[in-house]
């Protein structure tokens, strides 16, 4: 471990973005927020897009904020973001269109159509990735089927974090962990699954070779530095740019007996593996293999997460009955337990809608008591998510053939103490929550490794254990949770 340094992390989530400075003093990390901004889809013409240039302007605001607070330039900057979405660049380096949001309806029916050309089990064998309609593979295949001229004009595909890396320094890359979210990367060949993609008519010439985390890229372009008031040059660093991979990299004490749970808009729950598991059993159970910060793999399941509660909050605000998060959580803690459940993965909870009404309809259709108040709805969602995590935990223990004693929660959900205790009780496991800003910290950690301030991710995790506060939730055993789990499994079946 070497001398102190500052690193800028742009951590882009599907509901908000933040530009942070990570300060390394030689022993510990400290994270300071420079700029935070809302993010989300923008609807136009019946489609849902990301406002890429709006996000780009917010990143530059963050850089300007760094200049106002710190006299010297940072040692690097890294971008992490959600997976599966992308921008297309033409041969002159211009962004061809606003990136389409993964919840856009263009992928409806795309998986089924693709499987008529390449069977689903063959796609899984090639990529090790669970089928989700939102995946890059089906986004591109929907463009192929529609004869989309934007795809025809494309020279390069850049995943969302790689698009902003390109805006910063001009390098056109796709970072490894992001590549593995696409359902187009072949772990066996350490490259794109080109033969499978060709069978679907997807042009492979637009795909840059995957770049490993920790690669030092070109410096931030001079005109951007000048516009933000920065004088000294510094490089862009390819971190583990899928935010889940960055978040897992920052989890202290992560070991073979631990499950990670990245809990935000999405929930991603899994374990670390040296090699991918593409067995038939993994395929049947709906797990996926995604790239880790050290080039290994995360065996995980993608689940709808706190998006459901976020959508409820949005609708209540529209209805003029808005409440704040602290009141909602406090109310959920005292609401009647185990009254009703939902399957968080059900199709009706995947798109923008009147979410409270969707939850009530689901409970009515499944002949359960209908939650009426906001706190009853929140309790229903939190309990349902907790029971879903127990189901995933059962499957992970089956696949890893070993006891998994700890659930390590990071992300926004780690701040919800009521929810964390529910998870501990539902799963009968000790839950350790934190750090909250794990993706940004993992981003900074990877930059510190790339620049030689840390030897490797293991030493970075040791430093992270000294840098952040964790909270522990011991399970409170109750037969009521076992009975609820039985009801939940029948409901999902």
CA separation for the pair 434, 432 (Å, rounded):
7
CA separation for the pair 283, 73 (Å, rounded):
47
What is the H or E stretch that residue 54 is in? helix 52-69
80 a catalytic residue: no
CA separation for the pair 246, 16 (Å, rounded):
17
Kindly write down the DSSP assignment for every residue of 106-160, as one continuous string.
GGTTHHHHHHTTS-HHHHHHHH-----TTSHHHHHHHHHHHT-HHHHH-SEEEEH
Tokens 């499957």 belong to residue: 395
Residues 391/489, Cβ–Cβ less than 8 Å: yes
Q: Which of 11, 162, 243, 343 is catalytic?
A: 243
The SS3 of residue 92 is: coil
Q: Which of 400, 393, 401 is nearest to 425 (CA)?
A: 393
Strand pairing class (210-211; 174-175): parallel
Q: Which of 285, 86, 44 is nearest to 179 (CA)?
A: 86
What is the H or E stretch that residue 297 is in? strand 297-304
Kindly write down the DSSP assignment for every residue of 449-493, as one continuous string.
HHTTSSS-HHHHHHHHHHHS--EEE-----HHHHHHHHHHHHHH-
Tokens 């297309």 belong to residue: 88
What residues are annotated to the active site?
243
């Amino acid at each position: 471990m070497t001398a102190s340094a500052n690193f800028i992390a742009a951590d882009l989530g599907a509901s908000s973005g933040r530009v942070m400075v990570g300060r390394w003093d030689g022993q510990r990390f400290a994270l300071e927020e420079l700029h935070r901004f809302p993010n989300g889809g923008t609807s136009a013409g019946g489609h849902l897009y990301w406002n890429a240039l709006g996000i780009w302007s917010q990143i530059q605001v963050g850089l300007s904020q760094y200049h106002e607070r710190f006299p010297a330039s940072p040692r690097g900057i890294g971008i992490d973001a959600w997976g599966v979405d992308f921008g297309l660049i033409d041969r002159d380096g211009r962004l061809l269109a606003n990136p389409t949001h993964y919840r856009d309806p263009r992928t409806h029916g795309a998986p089924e159509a693709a499987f008529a050309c390449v069977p689903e089990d063959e796609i899984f064998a090639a990529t090790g990735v669970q089928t989700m309609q939102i995946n890059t593979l089906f986004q591109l295949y929907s463009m192929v089927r529609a004869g989309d001229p934007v795809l025809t004009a494309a020279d390069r595909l850049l995943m969302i974090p790689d698009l902003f890396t390109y805006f910063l320094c001009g390098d056109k890359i796709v970072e490894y962990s992001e590549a593995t979210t696409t359902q187009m990367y072949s772990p066996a060949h350490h490259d794109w699954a080109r033969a499978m993609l060709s069978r679907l008519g997807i042009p492979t010439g637009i795909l840059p070779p995957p770049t490993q985390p920790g690669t030092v890229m070109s410096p931030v372009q001079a005109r951007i530095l000048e516009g933000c008031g920065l004088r000294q040059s510094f490089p862009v660093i390819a971190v583990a740019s899928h935010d889940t991979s960055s978040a897992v990299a920052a989890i202290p004490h992560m070991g073979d007996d631990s499950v990670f749970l990245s809990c935000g808009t999405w929930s991603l729950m899994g374990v670390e593996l040296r090699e991918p598991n593409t067995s038939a059993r993994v395929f049947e159970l709906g797990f996926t293999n995604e790239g880790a910060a050290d080039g290994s793999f995360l065996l995980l399941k993608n689940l709808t997460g706190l998006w459901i509660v976020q959508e409820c909050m949005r609708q209540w605000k529209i209805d003029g009955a808005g409440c704040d998060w602290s009141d909602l959580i406090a109310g959920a803690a005292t609401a009647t337990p185990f009254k009703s459940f939902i399957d968080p993965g059900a199709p009706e909870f995947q798109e923008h809608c009147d979410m409270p009404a969707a939850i009530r309809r689901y409970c009515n259709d499944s002949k359960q008591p209908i939650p009426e108040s906001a706190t009853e709805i929140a309790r229903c969602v939190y309990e349902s998510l907790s029971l879903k995590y127990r189901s995933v935990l059962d499957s992970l223990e089956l696949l890893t053939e070993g006891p998994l004693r700890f659930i390590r929660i990071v992300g926004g959900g780690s701040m919800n103490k009521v929810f964390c205790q529910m998870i501990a009780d539902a799963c009968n496991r000790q839950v350790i929550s934190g750090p909250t800003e794990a993706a940004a910290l993992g981003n900074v950690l990877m930059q510190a490794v790339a620049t030689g301030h840390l030897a490797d991710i293991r030493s970075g995790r040791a430093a992270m254990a000294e840098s952040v506060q964790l909270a522990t939730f011991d399970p409170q055993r109750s037969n009521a949770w076992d009975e609820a789990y039985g009801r939940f499994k029948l409901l999902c079946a």
